[in-house]
Amino acid sequence: MTTLSICVFCGAREGTRSAYGAAADALGAGLAREGWRLVYGAGDVGLMGRCAQAALQAGGDLLGVIPQHLVGREAIADPSHARIVTETMHERKKVMFMNSDAIALLPGGAGSLDELFEVLTWRQLGHHTKPVVIINEGGYWQPLLELLRHIEAEGFAGADLAEAYITVPDVPAALAALRAALPRRKDAAV
């Protein structure tokens, strides 16, 4: 059996709305139910920690990737699961990406935007075709989506930018989009 892995980019804070935490919980549990491994930033803080804890509670598998400078600042969500310690944040993004079959974006801050734009750029350059799913929980990413359309409208990107990601309103739609975009496991029930 080949386990598919989903890289989740999200906040190391919980944000101001309870819906963001609920979405992180739902995504972690949903990935575990699907039999998909969660690839995440390894910490137990914010939405990242909630997603990991929900995946664990649902019996999921985790791969945490954390840069050395954060090892003492953020506790590891579950030390019994696989963990990779990187030298830099840039290396962390690369390791998370290389160990995943798809990317999902929950609400987050500048770090989440950095991670998203790197994988979108890599996709535009033809370095990958992995699905990138933006979960627009409660309309959180609406300003970003408008900016991406503006970039295309002003001629700084072609239609390939809009084709580089899938936007969904919530976690159930994200799980459905991932199921549709990812290859079926050979052992999956028909």
Q: What is the pLDDT, as a whole number, of residue 77?
A: 56
Residue written as tokens 């690369």? 94
Q: Is the pLDDT of residue 172 over 50?
A: yes
Q: What are phi and psi of 65, to 5 degrees?
A: -130, 120
> Which CATH number does the domain 5-181 belong to among 3.40.50.720, 3.40.50.450, 3.40.50.150, 3.30.420.40?
3.40.50.450
* Angstrom distance (rounded) from CA 136 to CA 128: 23
Going from N- to C-terminal start, the domains of the chain cover 5-181
Q: What is the pLDDT, as a whole number, of residue 189?
A: 40
183 pLDDT tier (thresholds 50, 70, 90): confident
Q: What is the pLDDT, as a whole number, of residue 86?
A: 86
| DSSP of 139-177 | GTTHHHHHHHHHHHHTTSS-HHHHTT-EEESSHHHHHHH
* One-letter amino acid for residue 104 of the chain: A
Q: Are 161 and 151 in contact (CB under 8 A)?
A: yes
